């Protein structure tokens, strides 16, 4: 088969996937220099995945590559599973980082570190652009959209690292799994909800992420929201040390994330595997 001169290498990568097609797919367009923002957004809308990314030549000499990230509706400065999936795809197509143990990604949120740990990649959680208590009116909207009462919420906080997240903590994983959101009430809010599994459960915590503001009612597995949740709960002492997260259960997925806390950083990791590889003409 002849590949058109205008075609660009393309990968679709399953991220945070402990098994085949269990995680969250990201579409990755390689060699994307020269594409316009409108072309990128149109393609992201067409893929209809939670995110589509475009790998470009970096403008910062410290970076290995530049990444632009689009939801079906808009560009976002940072997102977690696209970061890991794109790094995996870049390496797989022969990308050579400055440092073989660590990649540096340039994106709208600045420079993001990605390191290799065993068979996984992990990104360093970027600084939050917004934190602190959720305003009463917004919290009331959250409660109404999730169909829960204030006494069921153990904590709430803004955990925004780019996509506009706020975090809600419930007592148990079962409460998280039982949520039946009303997205017409949720409106443009984007939120992550976390609850603890019992000892011996499939992971330490269950997380669900709702992002109707980005055209994704429920995201299967979400690196950025887990990064924000870990920063918030770690700063409050609610979680101490490393832990694991399961996400995507309600959607028939089995996403798994590892959260590693160090003195000066939180790392969010998981496995990635390429499911589709070829070329795309935009």
The tens digit of pLDDT for each residue in 189-223 reads 999 999 999 999 999 999 999 999 899 999 999 99
pLDDT at position 48 is 94
CB-CB contact of 228 with 130 (8 Å): no
Cα(231)–Cα(260) distance, rounded to whole angstroms? Answer: 11
CA angle (49, 248, 91) in 5-degree steps = 55
- Does any domain span residue 138? yes
Task: Tell me, yes or no, if 106 is annotated catalytic.
Answer: no
Residue with tokens 């590693």: 260
Q: Tell me if 152 is assigned to some domain.
A: yes
Supply 212's token pair.
Answer: 């109707």
Q: What is the pLDDT of residue 1?
A: 55
Based on the fold, state whether residues 87 and 140 are members of the same structural domain: no
CA atoms of 43 and 179, how far apart (whole Å): 32
> Residues 96, 187: one domain?
no
Task: Give the CATH number for residue 275.
Answer: 3.10.310.10
Give backbone dihedrals phi and psi of 76, rounded to 5 degrees, phi first.
Answer: -120, 150
Which among 51, 106, 206, 218 is annotated as catalytic? Answer: 51
Range of the structural domain that residue 169 is part of:
130-268
Decide: 11 and 28 in contact? Cβ < 8 Å: yes
Q: Is residue 184 part of a domain?
A: yes
Note the pLDDT of residue 5: 63
Give the pLDDT score at 21.
77
Q: Both 264 and 144 in a single domain?
A: yes
DSSP alpha helix (H) spans, 122-256? 136-146, 173-177, 183-186, 223-236
Please check whether residue 76 is in contact with residue 163, taking contact to mean a CB–CB distance below 8 angstroms: yes
Mean pLDDT of the chain: 95
pLDDT tens per residue, range 234-272 = 999 999 899 999 999 999 998 999 999 998 899 999 999
pLDDT of 119 over the 90 cut: no
Structurally, how many domains does the chain consist of?
2
């Amino acid at each position: 088969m002849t590949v058109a001169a205008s075609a660009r290498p393309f990968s679709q990568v399953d991220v945070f996937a402990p098994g085949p097609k269990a995680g969250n797919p990201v579409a990755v367009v390689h060699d994307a220099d020269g594409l316009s923002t409108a072309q990128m957004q149109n393609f992201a809308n067409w893929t209809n995945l939670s995110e589509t990314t475009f790998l470009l030549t970096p403008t910062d000499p410290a970076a290995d590559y530049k990444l632009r990230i689009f939801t079906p509706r808009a560009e976002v400065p940072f997102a977690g599973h696209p970061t890991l999936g794109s790094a995996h795809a870049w390496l797989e197509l022969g990308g050579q980082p400055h440092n073989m143990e660590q990649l540096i990604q340039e994106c709208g949120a600045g420079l993001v570190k990605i390191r290799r740990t065993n068979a996984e990649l992990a990104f360093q959680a970027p600084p939050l652009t917004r934190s602190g208590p959720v305003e009463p009116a917004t919290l009331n909207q959250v409660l109404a959209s999730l169909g829960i009462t204030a006494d069921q919420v153990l904590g709430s906080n803004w955990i925004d690292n780019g996509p506009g997240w706020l975090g809600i903590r419930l007592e148990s994983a079962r409460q998280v799994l039982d949520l039946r959101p009303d997205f017409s009430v949720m409106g443009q809010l984007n939120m992550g909800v976390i609850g603890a599994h019992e000892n011996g459960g499939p992971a330490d915590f269950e997380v669900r992420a709702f992002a109707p503001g980005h055209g994704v009612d429920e995201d299967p597995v979400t690196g950025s929201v887990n990064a924000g949740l870990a920063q918030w709960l770690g700063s409050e002492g609610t979680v101490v040390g490393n832990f694991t997260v399961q996400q995507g259960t309600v959607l028939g997925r089995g996403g798994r994330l590892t959260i590693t806390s160090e003195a000066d950083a939180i790392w969010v990791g998981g496995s990635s595997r390429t499911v589709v590889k070829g070329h795309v003409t935009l």
